[in-house]
Amino acid sequence: MKDLRRYLALKYIQYLVLSSSNAVSTLLGLLGSAYTMILLQSAKVSYKSTAVLISSLAQADILVFLSLVSDMVSGSFGVSPTASALARILLTANAHVSCVLLSCVAFEAYLITFLPLESRPLRTVRNARLISRVIWTLVAAECALFLMDDHLRASSSSGFLFQLSSVAAALLRSLSYILGILLRIVNVYIYYKIFFSMSPR
C-alpha cells in the first residue's frame, strides 16, 4: 500500500539519511508509527512477512514515547542521572532496532525483486517474527550493558567489573557506529539496484 511505502520512506529519512534526530522528524515518526499500527489492523492489509517487520518497526517508536515521558518526569521532579541515562538508552534502542529492521525490509525487497521464487520459503511470517525477536533481544542486551556501564560510572565504582563493562561498552559503541555506516551503504546499494531494475530500458 502507498501509505506503508510513505511510512518506510519517512523512516529511512529519519534513521538512515539524517545525521541526527530532531523534533520535527521525531514527531512525524511518532505520528506515522501510530497511524501504521492502526493501518496494519485493517483487513485490507495482507499480513505477510513485510507487514510483520513494518509492525515491529512501528512498535519501536514506543521507546521514543517512553523516553519523552522519562524526560518529562525527570524534569518535573529534578534531573536524575539514572532517569537521564534511561531516556538516552531508550532512544538508542529505538534507533538501533529501527535501522536493522529497515535493512531487513530492504533486503526482503531485494529478494522479492530478484529472487521471488527462490526466496519464497524464507519470506514467511514465522521467519519475520523470529528475526524481529532476535533483533529486539540483541538490542535489549546491548542497552542493558550500556545502562550498567552508566550506573557503575555514576556510582564511581572501580574494579574488574567496572573495567570489563567499560571496555565492552566502548567496543560495542564502536561496533554500532561501524554497523550503522555499513547499513546505510547496503541500503543505498539495494535500492539503487531495485530502482534501475524497474526503470524502463
Whole-model pTM: value is: 0.91
Among left, alpha and beta (phi > 0; psi -120 to 50; other), residue 78 is: left
The domain of 168 spans 1-198
Q: Which pLDDT score is estimated for 46? A: 76
Query: Of 111, 143, 139, whose CA–CA distance to 127 is shortest?
Result: 111
Number of domains in the chain: 1
Walking along the chain (201 residues) 10 residues at a time, the average pLDDT comes out as 89 84 86 93 81 95 89 65 78 94 95 94 95 96 90 75 86 92 92 81 48
> What pLDDT score was predicted for residue 83?
66
Residue 158, CA distances (Å) to 86, 87, 170, 184 in order:
21, 25, 16, 37
